[in-house]
Amino acid sequence: MPIALPDLPYAPDALEPHMSRATLLVHHGKHHKGYVDKTNELIASTALEKKSLEDIVHETAGDPSRVELFNSAAQAWNHGFFWTCMKPGGSKGPVGELAEKAVDAYGSLEGFKKAFAGAAVAHFGSGWAWVVIKNGKLSIKSTPNAETPIASGERPLLTCDLWEHAYYLDYQYRRLKFVDAFLNSLVNWEFVAERLAAAEVEAKAARSAA
C-alpha cells in the first residue's frame, strides 16, 4: 500500500485563533500532501514500496544517493507527528514524570519552555524544534530542513515546525510570537507525556532483554 496522508486529528478551524484554518488547509493539504505524494512517487516499484514511512526514513538517512527520498519521507513523518503534538485549546503544561524530567534538565518548567522557544527562534532558516528523550534524558534541539531525530535513534516527544509555511499567513516574520502561541495555547502535553511513558516502557524492556 502507498504511504497515506493522515487526516488532521481535529477540524481545520479547531486551532484558531492561534493557527488559522487557512494555514492548516495549505500546510496539511498542500505541503504535507506534497511530501507524501513525492515519497510515493520515489518508492514506486522499489524494495521500499512496502515499507513503513519510518522504515523509509531510517533506510535512506545519510545516503547521498537518496537525499530526495529522505527529504520527502522525513518531511512527511515530521508533519504527521507535528499535527498530533497539538490539540484545540492546548493543555496547561507538563505534569508528572514529564514535568520532573523537564525541571531536572532545565531547572524549572519556565526554564524548559524558555529553552524550547530559544532553540526555535535561534534556528536559522527552515527546520524543526524538538523535545527528545534518549538514554532516559530529556533534551531540546533543532534540526535543519527535513532532518529528524528518528534518523539518529532519539525518540521525539514534541516538535514545532519552523518552516515559514507553518506560520507566515498568521504571524508573518514573527516566529517568536508563533512559538509562544504553540507552547502556551496549542501543545497537547498529555500526548507528550504518553510518548515519554511509552519510551520508558520500551527502555525498561530493552534493559530486561539485555
Does one domain contain both 80 and 122? no
Q: What is the pLDDT of residue 202?
A: 83
What ranges in the chain are assigned the alpha helix state H? 21-26, 33-43, 53-60, 67-84, 96-106, 109-122, 168-171, 175-181, 189-209
**Within a domain: residue 1?**
no
Does one domain contain both 30 and 72? yes
For the chain, how far is it from start to end, CA to CA, in angstroms? 35
Q: What is the pTM of this model?
A: 0.95
- Domain CATH number, residue 37: 1.10.287.990
Does one domain contain both 117 and 197? yes
Tell me the one-letter amino acid at 84: T
Statement: residue 207 has pLDDT above 90: no
- Confidence grade of residue 98 (pLDDT, cut at 50, 70, 90): very high
Domain count for the chain, please give it.
2
Tell me the one-letter amino acid at 7: D
**Within a domain: residue 16?**
no
Statement: residue 93 has pLDDT above 80: yes
- Confidence grade of residue 1 (pLDDT, cut at 50, 70, 90): low
Statement: residue 208 has pLDDT above 80: no
Q: What is the pLDDT of residue 204?
A: 81
Whole-Å CA distances, 9 to 81, 85, 87, 93, 203? 11, 10, 8, 20, 28
- Choice among 75-79, 105-109, 132-136 with the minimum mean pLDDT: 132-136
Q: What is the pLDDT of residue 15?
A: 98
3-state secondary structure of 139: strand
Does one domain contain both 79 and 101? no
Statement: residue 210 has pLDDT above 90: no
One DSSP character per residue, 46-71 reads STTTTS-HHHHHHHHTT-GGGHHHHH
Give me the sheet containing 155-161, strands edge to edge: 137-144, 127-134, 155-161
Percent over 90 (pLDDT), the chain:
90
- Choice among 29-38, 75-84, 181-190, 201-210 with the minimum mean pLDDT: 201-210
pLDDT tens for residues 27-37? Answer: 999 999 999 99
